[in-house]
Amino acid sequence: MRNTIKLSIVLAAASAALGAQAQDKVLNLYSARHYQTDEVMYDTFSKTTGIKINRVDADDAGIVARLRAEGAASPADVILLVDAARMASADSQGLFQPIKSAKLDAAIPANLRADATKDGVSWTGFSTRARVIIYDPLRVKAADVATYEQLADPKLKGLVCTRSGSHPYNLSLFATVVERLGDAKGEAWLKGVVDNMARAPKGGDTDQIKAVASGECGVALTNTYYVARMIKSSKPEDRSVMEKVRVVFPNQGTSGTHVNIAGAAVAKHAKNKDNAIAFMEFLASPFAQDYFANGNNEFPAVKGLKVDNPAIKAMGGDNFKAEQIPLGVVAKNMTKVQQMLDRTGYK
């Protein structure tokens, strides 16, 4: 009996503590974004609203593992991840909760969000990055890399380099291509890309750019913000790399260039839901969108906002046609595409 009374007291105290926490002006943020420029956004949000941000930084996998381990006891209110595939995977594990926000509905295009349900939207993109083709103009003509489909053309035999096919940046692109081409043609395309490789997939996106500049490869895939970092770099060796390569925004005459997102969601067991929604709406504000574009060389997700970033303009990214296939639809292809990669030998 005594132990039962003690347990009741402990549970009551814990419940009271959680209630007090929910009433405090705090926001517990789990973030996979590791960009110093984001600090200005967080500070501005806190100064504007009086809501203090408590932040946990980890990579996407670490955040998902932590949320699963914490369960209903998790203090997380908002989750920031950097890929639509990762957002969709976490959502499928029941780690997010749908929210309704007229401000977000009006600001963010539907193709950059999870599919809406009667309960709302479970995750939203707040910035985008394009997956572009880098090529060596001494070995490859621009016309030969005008589309993603041409990466499988035998004309590029022994010239193509990429990071791992299973990396989310590539998975999202491949899932988009498969969505457009269909399963059979999509898998044949992946096999063609494998057949054209100059070497086994390795490294990150910046490594692919450098590999083209060094002559190891003739063609590679990378996200635009890696290109912009190299363009803006003060290091002579980075400037030398960019002088040797060219950038193509693929499929401008057809479906448009594939874009991915950095996105946010309200955690399933958020104790400060109102604060979480306020933060999500803040991320769609012109102020925050400007920091996404200029701080980390991304593109705004909000409809109608233009990029004013010299590095983005230098690569021709200030006015390109983006693919409109909903990322929520693309994310559903991930498992199927991974199986295709295994069958085609794409490492």
Binding residues for Fe cation are 34, 225-226
User: Residue 154: CB partners within 8 Å, gap ≥ 6?
Assistant: 192, 195, 196
Looking at residue 24, its amino acid is: D
Where is the binding site, in residues? 34, 225-226
**Paired tokens of 300:** 């705004």
**What whole-number distance in Å separates Cα of residue 335 and Cα of residue 315?**
33
Contacts 24+ apart (CB under 8 A), 14-19: 18/271
For residue 225, give the nearest of 64, 29, 37 by alpha carbon: 37
**What whole-number distance in Å separates Cα of residue 79 and Cα of residue 27?**
11
Instruction: For residue 83, give Cα distances in angstroms to 2, 33, 90, 129, 142.
Output: 51, 11, 11, 10, 28
Instruction: For residue 16, give Cα distances in angstroms to 20, 29, 70, 276.
Output: 6, 22, 19, 21
- For the chain, give percent helix, strand, coil, nearest 5: 50, 15, 35
Beta-strand pair 160-161/219-223: parallel
**What whole-number distance in Å separates Cα of residue 263 and Cα of residue 32?**
10
- Number of helices (H) and strands (E), helices first, in the chain? 15, 10
**What whole-number distance in Å separates Cα of residue 205 and Cα of residue 112?**
23
